[in-house]
Amino acid sequence: MLWCQPPVSWVLWVDEAVVAVNKPSGLRTLPDGYNPQAPHLKSLLEPVYGRLWIVHRLDKETSGVVILARTAEAHRSLNTQFEQHTARKIYHALVTGTLEWEERSIDLPLRPNGDRRHRTVVDMQQGKPALTNLRVIERYRDYTLVEAHPETGRTHQIRAHLAALGLPLAGDRLYGGGVPVPPLESFALHAKSLSLKHPFSAELLSLEAPYSHEFQSALEQIRLTADHPLSPTA
């Protein structure tokens, strides 16, 4: 995909301290170590908003809310919130399989780069604590849409935890989720919302990113091919 100046529709919030955007799938947050000249989120936004500081990141294939700091002071404040896990992140994930439960917490320690495929793996001895809370949003014949709230920030945490339950993300070939659901070209994970304190005013800043056209279309395709979607209480 050819990336150029980001459209206005990406922007969720902008002021003197921060800029928050709805990152599309397929775009890196930071430079690619193998191809530093390839476009990434920071390189596309800085010509518009000036120097930016990265606070957190999403996988290349994950879409959704990303917040960047516009000053060093704002960066320090936001970094502290992420380090202390006071920033609340909510993801929507389409997983393979139909779940019997409504809510569940996964408390399994994770170790990044834990096998020959460089995956994050559950490691009860050497892994770092990792906790993800899950809630069913909608059930289909072969898939389930779930809300995931990671209380820690381990690499590939949601992907690894879901795979450990035998419920990998749809289209996540690395963790066993099979081929993507059209028109998605990769796995189905979207950073739906982010809530934290504004770095200057300390007021609650609640950011929400709508699904991409591809993510929404994939859900609609699944709904059409299923007999009917099942509500969480069905």
Task: Report, as residue numbers or ranges, the catalytic residues.
Answer: 59
Nearest to 127 by CA among 117, 112, 115: 112
Query: From residue 136, how far is each of 2, 105, 184, 208 by CA, in Å?
Result: 35, 12, 21, 19
Nearest to 20 by CA among 31, 30, 10, 7: 10
- Per the CB < 8 A criterion, the answer to whether 43 and 68 are in contact is no
CB atoms within 10 A of CB 142: 13
| Interior angle at CA 181, CA 180 and CA 187, nearest 5 | 45
